[in-house]
Amino acid sequence: MPAYRPVPVAHIYQPARSPMQGGLARRNEWVLEFEPWARSDREPLMGWRTSEDPFASIQRLRFPDRQSAIAFAERQGWHYVAHDPPARRIHPKSYADNFRYDLAEAILRSQQAQDAGATIGVERAGQSAAARQSSDARQAS
């Protein structure tokens, strides 16, 4: 590695769990990953992606715990940023919540439906009265 180029900053973090899985496997895994050091270009003849980044080949280094990742980065002389693990949020749920019936919400919906029906009934009554008046006017003439 050339001495005139600085080493990119390494980020040490605990990766997020896949949204498709809810298990606790691989929860204690830590990753060391470098920031992109140079932008990648497209080689004009073949279309391959090229880069001057010597750390591009190091995708992700996996460690069993945070301390071993930090020790490895310090042994290599790399600057690093160790991120705190994400807070695990537990949403208390029960199977019965799937079938819960919220009575207050149901009453509010029924009142809204009744109010909408009463408004439609008033409009129909107004139309029929207007229709009656026009038919009465036609009969008188």
CB 59 within 8 A of CB 96: no
pLDDT of 126 over the 60 cut: no
- Burial of 2-20, coded b for 16+ CB within 10 Å and e otherwise, reads eeeeeebebebbbeeeeee
pLDDT digits (tens, 9 = 90+) for 25-63: 667 889 998 887 777 778 888 888 777 777 777 778 899
CB 30 within 8 A of CB 64: yes
CATH 3.30.70 fits 10-82, yes or no: no
Distance CA 18, CA 78 (A): 29
Partners of 11 in the β-ladder: 33, 81
In terms of pTM, does the model score above 0.85?
no
More confident call, 4 vs 83: 83
pLDDT at residue number 66: 92
Mean pLDDT of 61-72: 93
pLDDT at residue number 91: 75
Mean pLDDT of 85-99: 77
